[in-house]
Structure 1
Amino acid sequence: MRTTDAILFDAVLFDMDGTVLNSIKAAERIWTTWALRHGIDVEAFLPTIHGVRAVETIRRLGLPGVDPEVEAGAITQAEIEDVDGIEEIAGAAGFLAALPPDRWAVVTSAPRTLALRRIAAAGLPTPPLLVGAEDVERGKPAPDCFQLAAERLGTTADRCLVVEDSPAGIAAAVSAGASVLVITATHHAAAGATAVDAGHAAIRDYRDLAISRLADGSLSIRAAQGGGLPSNASPVRLSYGLRASSERG
C-alpha cells in the first residue's frame, strides 16, 4: 500500500559532481595549476568552480587577453585525462541501478565527454539520459538544463525531484519549479542545516535512503532507518515516490 504522505514524481534528475560522484580532488588539481599560471589566489578561487560550467567560471574573472572558450576547452581536456581519485558518493551506484532506466537522468555543468569519463571512473551505471554543458545556452543557476532533461523524459520539471549539492544547482532546480533533495557528502555538516532552513530535505549520501517497488508499480523512496540529515529534518520531506507508468500524463 502506498503511504499517504509520499510526494510523487515522474522522474529523478541528478547533478553529477558532488551528488553522485566525488571529483573534488581531480578538479581542484587541474584548476589549481590553471589558477597559479594566471596569478589567481587559489584559496579564494577554488570554492567558485563547483556547480557551474568552466567557461562561465573563467568568463566572470574578466582576465585580460584570456579567451574563456579556449581556456575552458583546455581545462576540460586536462580533466578528461586526470580521473585519479574519482569515486562514487556512497550508495549511489546501487541507488541508480534500482531506478527504472526511463525515469532518471544526470544533469551536469560538465561537457558530455568529461561527464561520461568521470561516471565510468566512479563505477556508476551509464545514465540513460545525460544533459551536459553543450546541451543548453545558459548553465546553472539558470533552470534550462533541468527543464530540458524533464522534457526529454516526457514530463515537466515541476513533476521531478532534483538531487543536488551546489548552490548554483539548487537555485537552478528551484527556478525550474522542481523539488530538491540536497546531498551533503562533500560539504561541511552545516550544509544540511542550511538546506533544511531553505525548505529542502538533506541527506549525507545514498545509504540514508531506502528504495522499494510497490504493488501498483510505483517506487517508494524514503529515509532509511537512522538516515537523513540533519536531525531536525521533517520525515515527510524524506518520503518520495516515483509514479507508476500508468499514472503519468
Structure 2
Amino acid sequence: MTVSPGSAPRAYRAFLFDMDGTLITSTAAAERVWTRWAERHGIDPVAFIPTIHGVRTADTIRRQNLPGVDLAAEVAWVERGEIEDVEGVAPIPGAIDFVKRLPPDRWAVVTSATAPLAQARLKAAGVEPPAVLITAEDVERGKPDPAGYRLAAQRLGVDIADCLVFEDAPAGIAAGEAAGAEVLVVTAAWSHPLETPHPQLSDYGTATLVVEADGGLTLSV
C-alpha cells in the first residue's frame, strides 16, 4: 500500500522516528534491565514489562506509586543498567540504508530515552544520530504527550501535519496522533502485539522511498 490518506502518493516534508523498536531493536536489553528493577521492588515482571515501552523511565517508575521511592536514584539505576547493557541492540532490518537516503534536514528521532542512553544505543546499532534528536530532557511531558513530535517538526522547520511519524508502541502512536501527524507503525521488533488502524511496516527493506527534487518524501509499504 501507499502511505497516504487517499489513493495518490503523498509527499511528506519530514519523517519523525521513534528510536527503540522503530529504528533499532533494544527490546531484549531493556526488558532485562527492567525485569531486574521490577524484582528489586516486588513487582510482577510478567504484568509489568509490557508497560515500559515508549515511555520515559521516570514516568514508568512514577506510575508504580512505590512508597518512599527516591525517583532520581531509581531513574539513575535503570539508566546506568541500560547504558551498560547493549547486548543484542541492532538496527531494524534496512533502517541504516533507509535513513542514509533521507536529506539530513528532513528527518529526526523523538525518543523517550535520555540523551546519553539514546547516543549509546544508536552507536551500538550503528545508526548515525540525526541533526535533530529529541530526548527525554527536551520536553516537560513524555509520550503519549505530543510535545516531542511537535518540537521535532519545529526544529526541522516544517508543519507537523506534513510529517509522517514512525512508531511501534501505544504511547508513541498516541503521541503522533495527538501531534497531528500521520502515523506508520513498525512491527519488526514487536514482542507484545497490538491492534492498530494505522499502516504497518514489517521492516525497511519492504519499503519504497522516493526523495523528490524539492525534498519531498514519498513512501510505499
Residue type at the aligned position of 1:6:
P
1:96 to 96, 99, 102: 99
Q: 1:118-167: CA deviations, max 9, x gaps? A: 00100112212100000000000000000000000002211110000000
Residue 41 of structure 2 is aligned to residue 38 of structure 1 = yes
2:74 to 71, 76, 87: 71
In structure 2, do the counterparts of structure 1 residues 36 and 190 end up closer, same or farther at CA, with 3 Å as the change threshold? closer
CA distance in structure 2 between the aligned counterparts of 1:157 and 1:215, rounded to whole angstroms: 21
TM-score norm. by structure 2 comes to: 0.92
Gaps of 5+ in 2: 1-6
Gaps of 5+ in 1: 224-249
CA distance in structure 2 between the aligned counterparts of 1:151 and 1:216, rounded to whole angstroms: 19
Preserved contact between residue 14 and residue 217 of structure 2 (Cα < 8 Å)? no
In structure 2, do the counterparts of structure 1 residues 189 and 5 end up closer, same or farther at CA, with 3 Å as the change threshold? farther
Which residue of the partner structure matches residue 58 of structure 1?
Answer: 61
Residue 164 of structure 2 is aligned to residue 161 of structure 1 = yes
Residue type at the aligned position of 1:80:
I
Task: Give the CA RMSD over aligned residues.
Answer: 1.6
- 1:106 aligns to what SS in structure 2? strand
Shift of 1:189: 9.2
Higher relative contact order (CA 8 A, sep 6+): 2
1:137 to 137, 140, 143: 140
Which residue of the partner structure matches residue 123 of structure 2?
Answer: 120
Preserved contact between residue 35 and residue 45 of structure 2 (Cα < 8 Å)? yes
Preserved contact between residue 17 and residue 165 of structure 2 (Cα < 8 Å)? yes
Q: 1:205-230: CA deviations, max 9, x gaps? A: 1111012334565443222xxxxxxx
Residue type at the aligned position of 2:164:
L
In structure 2, do the counterparts of structure 1 residues 44 and 117 end up closer, same or farther at CA, with 3 Å as the change threshold? same
Residue type at the aligned position of 2:209:
I
Residue type at the aligned position of 2:61:
I
TM-score norm. by structure 1 comes to: 0.82
Aligned residues: 215
CA distance in structure 2 between the aligned counterparts of 1:141 and 1:17, rounded to whole angstroms: 15
The alignment-based identity, stated in percent, is 53
In structure 2, do the counterparts of structure 1 residues 155 and 207 end up closer, same or farther at CA, with 3 Å as the change threshold? same
- 2:104 aligns to what SS in structure 1? coil
Preserved contact between residue 24 and residue 122 of structure 2 (Cα < 8 Å)? yes
- 2:144 aligns to what SS in structure 1? coil
| Structure number with bigger Rg | 1
CA distance in structure 2 between the aligned counterparts of 1:63 and 1:186, rounded to whole angstroms: 30
In structure 2, do the counterparts of structure 1 residues 104 and 189 end up closer, same or farther at CA, with 3 Å as the change threshold? same
